[in-house]
Structure 1
Amino acid sequence: MLDIAEVAERTGLAPSALRFYEKKGLLSSSGRNGLRRTYEPEVLHRLELINCARRAGFSIAEISRFLVATPGDDALRARMVEKVAELDEDIARLQRMRHSLEHASTCTHEPLVECPEFKQALRS
């Protein structure tokens, strides 16, 4: 068993975030050790999933639905397809920015932001 402070330390989340996730139904504690909530070690895996989904732009409500989804949840599957397209766009944008910054790190054009190759990479 892990108490709330241990879970917070291992995940980098504030205890208040863990309590919030519990209130929203994303987590459940397995009891208390004195005044502190306790969790099964598997909570760390669930929090990795929640963190990944949050960073991908899913809302708390969407994550909640995802955690209880069944193969027949067509609306959720459609949302996942939309999210894949959004993530593909984000990845492409970030790759363009990465390429632009990589070029700018060695470019001798003055000023750097006026470099034609830098501008082209951003436009692509």
Structure 2
Amino acid sequence: MSELDIAEVSRRAGVPASTLRYYESRGLIASSGRRGLRRQFDPGVLERLALIALGRAAGFTLDEIARMFGPDGRPDIDRAMLTAKADELDRKIAELDVLRDTLRHAAACPAPRHTECPTFRGILHAAMAGDPGGQDVDA
């Protein structure tokens, strides 16, 4: 497969050209040269951009993503880092589950006012204490 210009990479990867230039300035990707004023890329950049997108979706920083590539540019991902991120996501999912259940309870609560509901008051108390996930909700 021949080289791809920046517009083609942008189109195929669904990433603006400005993002590609930024990633290149950060060392996440590298152009292979220019044709006129347009950067050219090896087709393998698309896989690298897919890995970057996956890392971003998982919540990794660009610095963390940069460390996922070896000196040769191939993926060299630290499994401990993946495990730590998965654990972080588990905690976030648990917090979001509690928040979802809280909202469902508040929406269906039969109390005339939310402030009259013991469950909702417990939720507010936990939130004021900085632990919004500290109250179980009977949804």
Bucket of the pairwise TM-score, normalised by the shorter protein:
0.5 to 0.7
CA RMSD of aligned residues (A): 3.4
Q: Which runs of 5+ in 1 are unaligned?
A: 102-115, 117-121
AA aligned to 2:46 is L
Cα gap change, 1:89 to 1:20, in 2 (>3 Å): same
Count, aligned residues: 120
Of 87, 108, 112 in structure 1, the residue corresponding to residue 89 of structure 2 is 87
Higher helix share: 1
How far off its partner does 1:23 sit?
A: 1.0
- 1:1-124 aligned at under 5 Å gives the runs 1-68=3-70, 76-92=78-94
Query: What whole-Å deviation, never above 9, does each CA across 1:20-72 have from its counterpart, x for those lacking one?
Result: 1111111011111110001111111110100010111111111111112758x
CA distance in 1, matches of 2:51, 2:59: 12
The 3-state SS of whatever aligns with 1:67 is: coil
The 3-state SS of whatever aligns with 1:51 is: helix
TM-score for both structures, normalised by structure 1: 0.67
TM-score for both structures, normalised by structure 2: 0.61
CA distance in 2, matches of 1:80, 1:95: 22
Identity of aligned residues (%): 48
